[in-house]
A and B are shown apart, each in its own frame.
Chain A
Amino acid sequence: MADVNVSGSLRRRLALILTGGAALLAVILFLVVRALAAQVAQQGQDNILNASMASVLDTAVIREGRVTLDFPYSSLSMLNTAADDRVFYAIHEGATLLSGYDWLVPQSGLSAGDAYFETTSFNGDQVRVATGVRILTGTDGPRTVSVSIAQTQDALSDTLNAISRNIVLLGLGFFMLVSALAIWAASTTSGQMHRLTTSVTRRGPQDLSPVTQPVPSEMAPLVGSLNRLMSRLDHTLAQSEDFIAEAAHRIRTPLATVRSHAEATLQRVEQVENRKSLQAMVRAIDESSRAAGQLLDHAMVTFRAENLEMSQVDLADLLRDLGQSMSPVAEMKDISITMEIDGPATLQGDAILLQNALRNLIDNALKYAPVETGVTVRISKAARLSVSIIDEGQGFASDEIQTLSGRFVRGKDMDNKVGSGLGLTIAHEVAIAHGGEMILTNTAEGGACVTLYL
């Protein structure tokens, strides 16, 4: 997987977008709710200011040619707040200040009967001003009286701050909830992909069947392409397998014909030279077919060694089956195969590879062991599980023991035996693929002993 061009994580990207969105939403929520709260609070203050202003303005009368007002007590007491806000007033007739604070100057051009609100500042404090105008009709004509009531906004900002704090908490809670949801959503989405990945990764090297487990519709095109790729690969593999099978058939069948004819002819031919050449022919055919078989085996071992199809393998069962299938060959030389196996010997391994390696070793032993001797197959369950194949032949030459497991290396003293020199290589590579090793030794009696540590 090292050669995959990775551009960020989909899960992280999804989580980031969702939490980022949640943060933005939380900020917007905060601003909107705060603005609404400010508006509502302002409206409340305005209503009270308006009531206070109106109650004062209502008392305005013209008495003896002068404008008089009578401050009702309640007009100011209704403005009491918890924060002890200060209250200011100003009463003007036209532009002339009749009473109150001179900095409270009403706007000009206000129409009677309406209330006007504005926010201004006094000595650095923010104040809200409500102004109302009334036109009194006196003997000397209409007179305009305006009343302005102002109040600082400490209580209002206290309330707003309290509300803000609550909104911040609410926003944070919202953000955290949505973030948790985002992470959950991101991981369930990527979990789908992860499950697909695991199901594809867990396949054996031979499994090219399409993915059948349900996938979300967004992943369907990917899985579809994957399935098409696998079916193409399967097709190609099947074709090349068919090709190999066909090639083997085309080559091995005529070879078999030649061999059988040569053998049949040998029964009739008496002349020594002719017999020699016929025997050489049979030998050459055996050699080529054996080499072809072992080359295919070796190719298979090399391929599978990289993608071991692991399963629980019982070496005892495997060796007993092998022993049975090899026994006719052993019988031809009156060799007895002794199985020194007690109880099952299970390991995690590739059954086909192990079978191939052990078959090659037993085959070798049968080939090099003298007539009427024994071949022993022994499983040892000491510190490491091992299988030894021991014959009663001449053993390995001591100077060759190190090199014999190399590719195409055969021992020198092979008595014209047919062989390709790949048998030990195959066994060696299978042992290494299983994290083990192959050790060649000679027994005390001089026979060869090949031990696979697995």
Chain B
Amino acid sequence: MKYLLVEDNLELADAVASRIRLDGHTVDHAAKIAEASAFVDTGDYDLILLDIMLPDGDGRSFLKQHRARKNLTPVIVLTARSQVSDRISLLDLGADDYLTKPFDHAELQARCRAVLRRNAGSAQSAQTIGDVEFDAVSGLLNVNGNCINLRNRELRLLELLIGSKGQVFSKQKLVDRLFSYDDDVSENAIEVYIGRLRKHIEGSNVQIVTLRGLGYRLDYDG
């Protein structure tokens, strides 16, 4: 996925962008509306994350322009304003969703996913590993022609493992990457999800390997 992050606070932009990159996506960063417009004109983005208060204007005017140009790239607004009337006016202006700062990265991911799913077709999200076909946006897993609809947490776990094939993830790392800190997920829960995923991909040439004391790794033959 290719993201455009429009945010004038460099510190925040940096932190958010590096977190998105960690999930295996590409991020371009614009600090002003003018820059953002230039990026949108030249690049083909899957999703735009837009701040509202920008040094050269209001993010809402960018949003209006963006929609007026019939640009269909979905926009999620990152706003510091939390009033209900603001939320409603943002959606009226054509934002696909909004998120109030400070935000939970897991929630940002979830909202991005939901928005991308609603705008499905624009993004190439299906990947094939061995004889497993996996669509991270729709959550569909196809193993030897057997189609399974993954639950959200299973889907994110699989996405993470597939995204970094061959890399070993400790349980702790998986908890950090997958869950909101509000969720209080124990590391044991990871075992449950790993167990389910193994069941789903049973019979394929893809395996989730346990490395005792280290964590898990996705392997496939061929």
Contacts and interface: CB of A to CB of B under 8 A. Distances in A.
Q: Is A bound to B?
A: yes
Contact of A352 (B78, B85, B102, B177): B85
A356 interface: yes
Main secondary structure of the interface of B (DSSP, over half): helix
28 contacts: A248-B82, A249-B81, A253-B9, A255-B101, A256-B78, A256-B101, A256-B103, A257-B9, A258-B102, A259-B102, A260-B16, A263-B181, A264-B22, A266-B176, A279-B181, A283-B182, A286-B102, A286-B104, A289-B100, A328-B110, A328-B111, A332-B110, A333-B183, A334-B151, A352-B84, A355-B84, A356-B84, A416-B184
A63 interface: no
Interface of B: 9, 11-12, 15-16, 18-19, 22, 53, 78, 80-85, 88, 97, 100-107, 110-111, 113-114, 151-153, 172-173, 176-177, 179-184, 189
Main secondary structure of the interface of A (DSSP, over half): helix
Given A252-B102, A263-B19, A300-B83, A334 B153 contact: yes
Nearest to B152: A331
Contacts of B85: 352
Contact of B181 (A283, A293, A300): A283
A340 interface: no
A245 B87 CA distance: 13
Given A252-B102, A286-B182, A257 B84 contact: no
Contacts, number: 127
A259 B11 CA distance: 11
Interface of A: 245-246, 248-249, 251-261, 263-264, 266-267, 270, 275, 279, 282-283, 285-286, 289, 292-293, 296-297, 300, 325, 327-329, 331-334, 352, 355-356, 367, 371-372, 415-418
Contact of A328 (B16, B22, B107, B177): B107
Contact of B19 (A246, A264, A293): A264
Nearest to A250: B80
B40 to A, nearest CB: 23
Given A253-B80, A286-B181, A329-B107, A260 B151 contact: no
A285 B100 CA distance: 13
A331 B153 CA distance: 8
